[in-house]
């Protein structure tokens, strides 16, 4: 099993919510401005595909995955 490390650049986030929609166990949105909030930076293996989808679908490309 390969570990995954997730990082975000919240300063560039456009608050589309695609990450929270794709992987709600890993990403959330700030109630104030909708900017991404990283809930879990080392998701379990069963969440990896959802996290990859979130990273691919992010319009601002603020999600970085290290595997």
Per-residue pLDDT of the chain (67 residues; tens, 9 = 90+): 689 999 999 999 999 999 999 999 999 999 999 999 999 999 999 999 999 999 999 999 999 999 8
Closest CA to 8 of 46, 57, 67, 61: 61
pLDDT at 1: 60
Angle (CA) 39-52-12 rounded to 5° is 60
Structure tokens at 13: 């986030």
pTM here is: 0.93
Please give the biggest Cα pair distance in the chain.
37
């Amino acid at each position: 099993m390969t570990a995954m490390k997730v990082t975000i650049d919240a300063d560039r986030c456009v608050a589309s919510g695609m990450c929270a929609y794709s992987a709600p166990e890993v990403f959330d949105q700030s109630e104030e401005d909708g900017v991404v909030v990283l809930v879990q930076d080392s998701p379990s293996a069963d969440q990896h595909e959802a996290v990859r989808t979130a990273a691919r679908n992010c319009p601002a490309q603020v999600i970085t995955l290290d595997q």
